Chain A
C-alpha cells in the first residue's frame, strides 16, 4: 500500500479552505481513499484540477498535480495521458467547469474514450464566485445571476454521457465516503472514459438541496436491480418520471481506450521514446 504524504499532518503546509459542511471535504476523503483502493503506485497517479471550490483541492493532495485553466482540466489531462499512458489520470472538476465552460471538451473527449476518470463536484451552483446558477441548476431557481429565477432547463450529465459513448457512467452522493471511494476506485480501474457525477451539498449557496433533500430522493441502483451493462435500462433510470434520484453505476462497457487505438503508442508511452537522435532520411524523398 502506498504511503500517502498528506496523512503526515505535521508537514503538510495547507489545510482545506472549504466552508463548514461543504461536500468537498467528503469528496476529498473519498478521492484519497479511492486512489488508495486502486493499489497503483503513487508516482503513477496524476490529478488535473479545474477551477472552483473543487479545484482548490489541488493544494490539499500530495500527488503530481496540475491546477489547470477553468473548464480545461479535461484536455490538459488528455494531453498528459497521451504523453504518458502509464499514468492513471484523475480529474477533479465542478459542474461549471465540466458542463459549462468546458462543455465542448466534455462532449468530445468522451467520444474518444480517453482513459481518464472525471469526478464532477456537482453542487448545482458556481460557488467559488459566490453563488450564481450553473448548468445543472433547476429551472426557476433564484441565484445571484438569476434574481427572477433561472430560465434554462438543467443539463443532464448522466443522460448525455449515456448517449454520447462514455464507457463508465456513475452518480454518487458526496457524504457517503465509503461508497464514493469505492466508485472512484472502480472508475480509475476502468480503462476508458469514466465519469462520476457527485451530488454535493453546498450549504452556503444552495441551502435547499441539502443532505435531507437528497436523502429523501436518492435510490440505489443496485437495490433497484439495475444491470449496468444495459444502456437502455440506464436511460430509463436517469429519465425517471418520479422525483427519485438514482445513484450508483448506471452503465459500463468494455471497449478500447483512445491511446490503445493510436498505433504509435502500441509499444510504450510517448515520453519513453528517445528524441536524442532523429533521422529524417525517410521523409526527404517526397521533396525531391
Chain B
C-alpha cells in the first residue's frame, strides 16, 4: 500500500460514539505530524441509523475523503454490509465475530477480515459495550503502526474533563485492542512520526468560528439547524474563554435571531447569525432590512440538500442562486464561499470586516461537507488586529435636529452614529428614507438612496482577491467550481498527476461581487472548461454565463447529498472527450 497515505473508517450505529472514536484516530494521526481529512456520514437521528467517520491521513497535504479504505472498523453488521465495496485486496476489516447477527462466511470480502471480540475485550477491562469502539481503535492504531502513546495522550486531552476514570477506561480498552491485534497479526504499515511538524485540525465550522472571533465577532444569534449548529455550540461554549467579550443568543426562531443581529449591529457591535438553507428562508426579510438600513450583519449559511427539510445531514451546493438573490428588492451584498478550513477562517474574519466597512450584509456560504469535515489547519499567528470602519463617536446633528446617517457620498458609504455615544439621533428604517433615515416616498429620495447604496459596488468589487487558480499549462481540462468542491478537485489532481494527466482548477470563493475578469481570463485561456458543482441546475454555470456572457456547456453535477469523490472526478477526466 501507499506508505505515505492511509484511509481508515469506523462504521456503526448512531449514538454509539462513532464520532468521538473517529476524532481520536484523527488526532492521533495529526500528532504524528500527518495531514488529515476527516469525512463523516450520519442520518438525521440521535440513536439508531448508520454512522461513519473516515480519516484520510498522509505525510503530504490531503484534501478529500477516499472511496477506498485500508482499514475498516465495522462496529456492527451494518458496518460490514454497507462498506464492503470500499475494500481493496490489501484492505483489512475488523469485525466482532461474537456478534450473532454476523455470519462472516456469508460475505465475500476483498482483503483480510480479522475477528476482534470488541465487546468482550471491552468488558474484560471493565468497560461497557460501547467501549468496544475503543478496542477497535486500539487495534487500528496497531495495524497502521501508529504510536499507542500518542493515542493515549489524545484520550487524556479529549476526555480530560470527564475525569480520570473515564480516561483510564478509554485507554485500557484501546490498549487491549492494540495488544490483542499484536498477538494475531503484523502491522500493515509503520506510520513514522514526522518530527517538528505540528498540525492543528478542525472542522470548517470551527474555522468559521475562529475566523469570526479573530474578526471581532461580538454578537452571535442562531436557532439550531444542521449543519450550522456546531457554530452555535462552539461559540456558546467558548464565550467565557474568549479574550474579547461575545454574547451568544439561542433565539426562539431564525427570524428572531436575524432581527436580534440587526439590533446588535445598529447598536455598534459586530454581529453574525448562522443557519442552513431552511432557516435562511426565515432570515431573508431581515437580510433585506440590512440592505436598506445599511446594517453590518454576517449571515452564515451552511447548505444541505433542499428544498424544505431535504436531506438534513448531507451536503449540497444548491442554495447559490437563492443567496445571490434572496430578499425582495435590490441592494448590494457579498456572497463568499470558502473552499476549505483555511479559507473558512480567512473569509470569516474578512466577512466581519467587510460587513462593517460597507455597511451591508455578507453571506458566508458553506455546506455540510465543509462545515463538518475536519481539515488540517495552520495558524501563523494567534493575535489579530481589527480596524474599525465608519463609526462616528462624536456625531454632529444638523438643523433638522438629526444626524445625516444616510448622507449621499461619492463612495456610497456614510458615517454611522451609534446609540448612546454622543447625540446623533437617526432612524434605522426599513422604509425608503431620507438621509436622516426618516421615511420618504419622494421619487428623489428613493432614487438617491438606491443609487447611493449601489455606488458601494465599485469599492466592493475592488475587494475581490485573486481566486484559487491552480493552473497547468498543458491541462486538457480546466475545472471551475466554488466552495468545498476545491478539496475533491485537488485530490483528483494529485491522483491524475501520477498518470501524467494535467488539469487546472479555478475555485471561486467570491461569488458576489463576481470575479468577472478573472473568470473570463481563465475561460479564454483554457482548452476545455468544465463547471463542476453540487446542484442540479448548474447554478454556478448560470452565474458565469450571466456575468461573462459565456455559456459553458460541459458540466459535472452531483445532487445526491454526497460530496464529489476524487476517484470519480478522475474517471470523468479520463473519459472526457472534447
B-binding residues in A (CB < 8 A): 5-6, 8, 11-14, 42-44, 46, 48, 51, 56, 58-59, 62-69, 72, 74-84, 86-87, 104-105, 107-109, 262-265, 267, 269-271, 273-284, 286-288
- The answer on a CB contact under 8 Å between B289 and A270 is no
Residue in A59, A109, A264, A278 whose beta carbon sits within 8 Å of that of B239 in the complex: A264
B260 is an interface residue with CB less than 8 A from chain A: yes
Q: Closest residue of chain A to B391, judged by CB?
A: A271
B residues near A86, Cβ cutoff 8 Å: 420
- The answer on a CB contact under 8 Å between A43 and B218 is no
- The answer on a CB contact under 8 Å between A275 and B218 is yes
What are 28 A-B pairs at a CB distance below 8 A?
A13-B400, A58-B438, A62-B425, A65-B426, A66-B266, A66-B429, A67-B430, A72-B255, A72-B259, A80-B263, A82-B219, A82-B260, A83-B218, A83-B264, A265-B245, A269-B420, A270-B247, A271-B268, A275-B244, A278-B215, A278-B243, A280-B210, A281-B383, A282-B241, A283-B241, A283-B242, A286-B157, A288-B157
- The answer on a CB contact under 8 Å between B260 and A84 is no
Residue in A51, A267, A279, A286 whose beta carbon sits within 8 Å of that of B243 in the complex: A279
Q: Closest residue of chain A to B374, judged by CB?
A: A287
Known: A270-B218, A278-B243. 5 other contacts (CB 8 A): A67-B431, A108-B252, A269-B420, A271-B418, A280-B379
B422 is an interface residue with CB less than 8 A from chain A: yes
- The answer on a CB contact under 8 Å between B419 and A270 is no
Give A62 Cβ to nearest chain B Cβ, in Å.
Answer: 5
Assembled-state Cα–Cα distance A118/B289 (Å): 22
Most buried by A among B157, B256, B384: B256
- The answer on a CB contact under 8 Å between B384 and A67 is no
- The answer on a CB contact under 8 Å between B201 and A287 is yes
- The answer on a CB contact under 8 Å between A67 and B241 is no
Bits for B460-497, please: 1 = Cβ < 8 Å to A, else 0: 00000000000000000000000000000000000000
Within B524-569, which residues are at the interface with A (CB < 8 Å)?
Answer: none
B332 is an interface residue with CB less than 8 A from chain A: no
Q: Closest residue of chain B to A266, judged by CB?
A: B245
Assembled-state Cα–Cα distance A281/B216 (Å): 15
B residues near A83, Cβ cutoff 8 Å: 218-219, 247, 263-269, 271
- The answer on a CB contact under 8 Å between B218 and A276 is no
Within B156-207, which residues are at the interface with A (CB < 8 Å)?
Answer: 157, 198, 200-202, 206
A-binding residues in B (CB < 8 A): 27, 30-31, 157, 198, 200-202, 206, 210, 213-216, 218-219, 221, 238-247, 249, 251-253, 255-257, 259-271, 285-286, 289, 293, 377, 379, 382-388, 399-402, 418-423, 425-431, 437-439
Give B198 Cβ to nearest chain A Cβ, in Å.
Answer: 7
How many A-B residue pairs have C-beta atoms within 8 angstroms? Tell me.
236
Assembled-state Cα–Cα distance A51/B259 (Å): 14
- The answer on a CB contact under 8 Å between A276 and B286 is no
- The answer on a CB contact under 8 Å between A76 and B260 is yes
B residues near A277, Cβ cutoff 8 Å: 383-386
Give B386 Cβ to nearest chain A Cβ, in Å.
Answer: 5
Most buried by B among A68, A265, A275: A275
Give B108 Cβ to nearest chain A Cβ, in Å.
Answer: 41
Q: Closest residue of chain B to A84, judged by CB?
A: B267
B residues near A105, Cβ cutoff 8 Å: 252, 255-256
- The answer on a CB contact under 8 Å between B262 and A76 is yes
- The answer on a CB contact under 8 Å between B382 and A284 is yes
Assembled-state Cα–Cα distance A46/B264 (Å): 12
A residues near B262, Cβ cutoff 8 Å: 66, 68, 76, 79
- The answer on a CB contact under 8 Å between B213 and A283 is yes
Q: Closest residue of chain B to A276, judged by CB?
A: B386
Residue in B239, B259, B400, B418 whose beta carbon sits within 8 Å of that of A79 in the complex: B259
Given contacts A64-B426, A275-B270, A278-B213, A262 and B438 within 8 Å (CB-CB): no
B residues near A14, Cβ cutoff 8 Å: 438
Q: Closest residue of chain A to B381, judged by CB?
A: A280
- The answer on a CB contact under 8 Å between A58 and B427 is yes
B residues near A104, Cβ cutoff 8 Å: 252-253, 255-256
Assembled-state Cα–Cα distance A282/B239 (Å): 12
A residues near B216, Cβ cutoff 8 Å: 275, 278
- The answer on a CB contact under 8 Å between A67 and B427 is yes
B residues near A79, Cβ cutoff 8 Å: 219, 221, 249, 259-267, 271
Assembled-state Cα–Cα distance A5/B261 (Å): 29
Assembled-state Cα–Cα distance A201/B268 (Å): 38
- The answer on a CB contact under 8 Å between A69 and B400 is no
Q: Closest residue of chain A to B201, judged by CB?
A: A287
- The answer on a CB contact under 8 Å between A84 and B268 is yes
Assembled-state Cα–Cα distance A275/B272 (Å): 15
Residue in A65, A81, A82, A275 whose beta carbon sits within 8 Å of that of B386 in the complex: A275
- The answer on a CB contact under 8 Å between A66 and B263 is yes
Given contacts A66-B266, A68-B430, A82-B264, A282 and B271 within 8 Å (CB-CB): no
B residues near A62, Cβ cutoff 8 Å: 401-402, 425
B residues near A43, Cβ cutoff 8 Å: 419-423
B residues near A271, Cβ cutoff 8 Å: 218, 267-269, 418, 420
A residues near B421, Cβ cutoff 8 Å: 43
A residues near B239, Cβ cutoff 8 Å: 264
B residues near A56, Cβ cutoff 8 Å: 439
- The answer on a CB contact under 8 Å between B286 and A65 is no
Assembled-state Cα–Cα distance A269/B215 (Å): 19
Give B343 Cβ to nearest chain A Cβ, in Å.
Answer: 17
Q: Closest residue of chain A to B234, judged by CB?
A: A283
- The answer on a CB contact under 8 Å between B214 and A287 is no
A residues near B201, Cβ cutoff 8 Å: 287
Assembled-state Cα–Cα distance A78/B247 (Å): 12
- The answer on a CB contact under 8 Å between B247 and A265 is yes
Assembled-state Cα–Cα distance A87/B268 (Å): 12
